Structure 1
């Protein structure tokens, strides 16, 4: 049981000003139930979430690779577990997922190097940005940067408020721990 000052908000306590969001993405995950303590922020977050999570020029698999690496670099158990699960749904092998904790080769390594540069240097060096733009397109480079920022903010919230991993994902991780780790 968490002693967080901002645990995920239950349906009965959901803020009236964002009532319509409870039945959508915001009510589906503990991260957004935690963010519901600040309804204005959650409401503003929705449009950026739509782009980063659903409409990114990176595509679903590259996005998950970026998120996995960012979760690893942040040390966010919630984001790591949730995105292991999402990556599996996309057909990624456990070995490929686990490799994002190290330095994979090829395109996955390019993604890892980019995320690392953003964490370590707070920017993409010119040569790396050019390599990414050549491989993925410039819009995807912008989306990679935005994805790292988006999931960093979520990680800060999750770890500050000790947000528990959602029950279905926790069950999956207990029953099917990541192999190849």
Structure 2
């Protein structure tokens, strides 16, 4: 049991939130600091929170990296999917992080903003991906029609990768909320 003071709100105890990188040990603390620098943030709450459980953090980091940035889907499609999941879930943290990443991989401000609209406005392949992502988040399943549409734009390997990406970021949105991870503050000079 931790000897640090508990954080209480009007509704009771809120999860541990991010640890200071110096409390994460040399390896995870360094990864958290590097991640924050790459993301142009003062700290990276997702790393500094999950990093409280070192064995879990290492596995999660490798697992996450196999989807983004080293996944089977294009970086632009991956970022659009993550943004749509973040919007549907109401995950301010995920949305804030990934809108910047989406811009870095070449998505326009209009494309990024459209992921947060009730009707995203995409057509074709991207519409299929965003509609399927939304259906998974809302229904925890895909209809036969949506599977048919998805199979028309993704091969079987990509279908598995797509479902794992959507459910990873759906679950991460839950974890970030339950663990009380606030949106990271941007470094000076970052947009």
TM-score (norm 1): 0.82
Equivalent in the alignment of 1:65: 80
Q: Residues 25 and 12 from structure 1, CA distance in 2 versus in 1: closer, same or farther, beyond 3 angstroms?
A: closer
Query: Is 2:145 the partner of 1:130?
Result: no
Shift of 1:5: 4.0
Q: How does 1:40-59 map to 2 (within 5 A)?
A: 40-59=55-74
In structure 2, C-alpha distance between the alignment counterparts of 1:65 and 1:59, rounded to whole Å: 10
**SS of residue in 2 equivalent to 1:167:** coil
Shift of 1:51: 0.6
RMSD between superposed Cα atoms in Å: 2.2
Unaligned stretches of 5+ in structure 1?
176-181
Among candidates 157, 161, 184, match of residue 143 of structure 1? 161
Shift of 1:40: 2.4
Among candidates 122, 125, 129, match of residue 105 of structure 1? 122
**SS of residue in 1 equivalent to 2:186:** helix
Unaligned stretches of 5+ in structure 2?
1-6, 8-13, 36-43
**SS of residue in 2 equivalent to 1:136:** coil
In structure 2, C-alpha distance between the alignment counterparts of 1:170 and 1:126, rounded to whole Å: 48
Q: Residues 32 and 86 from structure 1, CA distance in 2 versus in 1: closer, same or farther, beyond 3 angstroms?
A: same
**SS of residue in 2 equivalent to 1:45:** helix
- Higher fraction of helix: 1
Structure 1 runs of 4+ aligned residues shifted over 4 Å read 169-172
Equivalent in the alignment of 1:24: 31
In structure 1, C-alpha distance between the alignment counterparts of 2:19 and 2:112, rounded to whole Å: 31
- Contact 1:58–1:143 at 8 Å: present in 2 too? yes
Measured against aligned partners, the alpha-carbon deviations of 1:14-55 in whole angstroms (never above 9, x if no partner) come to 1x4xx4233236862210111112222212212211211122
